[in-house]
Structure formats: C-alpha cells, structure tokens
C-alpha cells in the first residue's frame, strides 16, 4: 500500500490529510522563498557587480516603507503556520471521550498491548475501522515512542507516567508500527503492525477464535501474535534468535552446558525462562513469557515448534495453513 507520492506513507486516519496539508504548506512556503531568494541573489550579484576597480557605491538611505513590508509579510506567514499547526495539534492530542481504550506497555524491545476486554497482544494491535481508539501508554524501562506513520501520529511512552494517543482509522489494512525514540541496542527491531479490521471482523477477533483449530495452528497464531517471529523468523527459520525449523528432537549446543536434546521440556523452559539454557552464539535478549501465556498456549507453541520439524506426511498435527 503506497500513495501516489513516493515519499508520503499510506494515509489511513481521520487527521492524516490535515497533517499532510500542513506539511505541504510548510514545504511549499519554504520552497517558494528558497527559489525567490536564490533568484534575487543571483540577479543582484550580476546587476550590481563592481565594474571598475575604483568604483564606490552610492550611499544607501533607509526606507521605513520597505522595512515595514518585509516585517509584516513574514509575520503574517509565520502566524498562519502557528495557527494552522496549533489547530492540527489540538485535533491530534485532545483525546475524545467516546474512544475505545487499549493499554500499551513498551519495554526493551517490544510492544505489549491489552484490550479492555482482556485480550493481550504483542507487537500487534487489532482495531476496528471507523472507531476512535485511545491508547493509554507507559514503559517498563526507558523512553520509547509509539509511532504509526499511516495515522500521522506518535507519542512518547515514558516510564512512571501515562501518556495517551488517539486515532480513528479510515480504511482496513495492516500498517507499520515503529518505536521512534532510540531505546538501546534493538531499538530498530522494536516494530510491529496495526491491523485495521471491519467492525464485524474485529468483534469476531475480540470474542476469540472459537473455530476448530489444531494446537499447532493455534501455536502458529501465537507465534505471530506474541512476537516470536520477529526474532525466530516467520517460519522458524531463525534470525536474532536460534532457528526453530528442524530443531525439535535433535541435539543443540548450549552455552556452558554442552549438548541438550530439544524436547517439550526444553522448549517450555526456554519460553518461561529464556536465560536458563542459551543456545551457543545467541545473547540473552529474549524476554520471559512467564505469566503472559497460559499452560494451554504453551502447549500450542510447543506443538507448533514440533510441527516445524515433522515431515508433512508424518506430522501428527498437520498445519492447517
Ligand atoms: Cu523502543 Cu526505540
């Protein structure tokens, strides 16, 4: 999804066009004066150049009329920027009262979100289209910044206090979520997506998936929503974290321990207490999921990781996707 101007991100909130209009106005004024001043500069350099080595310029007398004109015109232009900017600012940061609320906690290096109805998400935010959504945000460690370019809005997420942000998405789709405040080593990896759904689809999502899915398929879903994929790869191919595809049932080299077999117990331990047995060559960057997922969900994750190593025909829990 890309707009027709390559430098402008997708536009998907009620006030994104207002931000764009202001931005183009600022750019236009800047461009106009840059060209005007350059042209006049070049013209004067040529027109009033010194023609003989002993030439003395005529004395210059002040002009109140000229002074007044070039004071008032820039003042009026600056005030239009101030007035317009203030209006857009208040639209963006005055939170409406009738918004649905989502709690957001930033930490190095992930976004944890919880809906008022209890659903938790990591690095993903599902919202309905055409509804006002208010985010109530704080941080567990350092300052982060919640930024959704397509909505043209962002706000700092600060430890020890709550900050808020609101938006109303105007079209369904998946939009980038960035951390826009440098927050340490994996700042650039502190990303996610905002998924805007039709209201009915959103209600279904919110009321939980009650259809019949295998544990492995449910586990795959969890693998995405919990943010595992951001380090272990979408299909478990590995990245900042060890590869999971093909790992189950085999031996792996553990730091300061030696070889261990990747079995259910090891996978479970690595989710609850990731620092206990680190795979050789990887740093202790994985956060614990203790208290964030139930035993059921743990089993689903184990089932998914298991399915990544099974041959399709022999798989006891075939992947539905
Ligand atoms: Cu969090 Cu940058």
**Residue 269: CA atoms inside 13 Å, Cβ hemisphere, count?**
12
User: How many Å lie between the centroid of ligand 1 and the Cα of residue 187?
Assistant: 4
- 321 residues of the chain, pLDDT tens digit each: 455 666 778 888 999 999 999 999 999 999 999 999 999 999 999 998 888 888 888 888 888 999 999 999 999 999 999 999 999 999 988 888 888 888 888 988 899 888 877 677 889 999 999 999 999 888 888 999 999 999 999 999 988 778 889 999 999 999 999 999 999 989 999 999 999 999 998 888 887 744 456 777 878 888 988 888 888 988 888 888 898 988 888 888 888 888 888 877 788 889 988 888 889 888 888 888 887 876 667 777 888 888 888 765 443 444 433
User: How many Å lie between the centroid of ligand 1 and the Cα of residue 215?
Assistant: 33
* 3-class DSSP state of 274: coil
Atom of ligand 1 nearest to the CA of 181: 2
Helix axes 264-272, 295-307, angle to 10 degrees: 120
**The predicted structure's pLDDT at residue 52:** 86
Q: Which residue has the tokens 């060890």?
A: 242
User: How many Å lie between the centroid of ligand 1 and the Cα of residue 106?
Assistant: 8
CB atoms within 10 A of CB 313: 6
Answer whether 111's CB lies under 8 Å from 187's CB.
Answer: no
Atom of ligand 1 nearest to the CA of 184: 2
Q: Which two tokens mark 77?
A: 């232009």
Residue 288 Rama label (left phi>0; alpha psi -120 to 50; beta): beta
**The predicted structure's pLDDT at residue 71:** 95
How many angstroms separate the CA atoms of 234 and 226, rounded?
12
**The predicted structure's pLDDT at residue 312:** 52
User: How many Å lie between the centroid of ligand 1 and the Cα of residue 195?
Assistant: 20
Q: Which two tokens mark 133?
A: 């959504």
**The predicted structure's pLDDT at residue 321:** 35
Pocket of ligand 1 (CB under 6 A): 106, 109, 144, 179, 181-183, 187, 190
**The predicted structure's pLDDT at residue 59:** 85
Q: Global pTM?
A: 0.61
**The predicted structure's pLDDT at residue 210:** 45
Look at ligand 1, atom 1, and give the residue with the nearest C-alpha: 144
* 3-class DSSP state of 175: strand
């Amino acid at each position: 999804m890309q707009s027709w101007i390559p430098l402008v991100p997708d536009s998907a909130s009620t006030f994104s066009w207002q931000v764009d209009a202001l931005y183009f106005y600022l750019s236009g004024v800047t461009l106009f004066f840059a060209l005007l001043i350059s042209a006049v500069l070049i013209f004067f350099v040529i027109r009033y150049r010194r023609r003989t080595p002993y030439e003395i310029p005529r004395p210059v007398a002040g002009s109140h009329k000229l002074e007044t004109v070039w004071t008032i015109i820039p003042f009026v232009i600056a005030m239009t920027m101030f007035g317009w900017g203030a209006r857009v600012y208040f639209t963006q940061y005055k939170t409406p009262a009738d918004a649905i609320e989502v709690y957001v906690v930033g930490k190095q290096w992930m976004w944890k979100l919880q809906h008022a109805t209890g659903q938790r998400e990591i690095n993903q935010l599902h919202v309905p289209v055409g509804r006002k959504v208010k985010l109530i945000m704080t941080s567990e460690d350092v300052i982060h910044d919640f930024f959704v370019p397509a909505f043209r809005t962002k706000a700092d997420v600060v430890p020890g206090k709550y900050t808020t942000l609101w938006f109303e998405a105007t079209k369904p789709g998946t939009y980038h979520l960035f951390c826009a405040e440098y927050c340490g080593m994996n700042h650039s990896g502190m990303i996610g997506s905002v998924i805007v759904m039709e209201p009915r689809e959103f209600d279904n999502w919110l009321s939980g998936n009650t259809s019949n899915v295998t544990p492995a398929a449910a586990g795959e879903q969890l693998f995405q929503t919990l943010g595992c994929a951001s380090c272990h790869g979408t299909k478990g191919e590995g990245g900042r974290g060890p590869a999971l595809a093909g790992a189950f049932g085999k031996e792996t080299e553990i730091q300061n321990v030696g070889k261990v077999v990747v079995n259910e117990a090891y996978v479970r331990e690595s989710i609850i207490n990731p620092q206990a047995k680190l795979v050789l060559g990887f740093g202790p960057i994985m956060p614990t999921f203790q208290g964030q997922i139930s035993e059921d969900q743990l089993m689903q994750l184990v089932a998914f990781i298991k399915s990544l190593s099974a041959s399709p025909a022999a798989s006891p829990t075939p992947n539905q996707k």
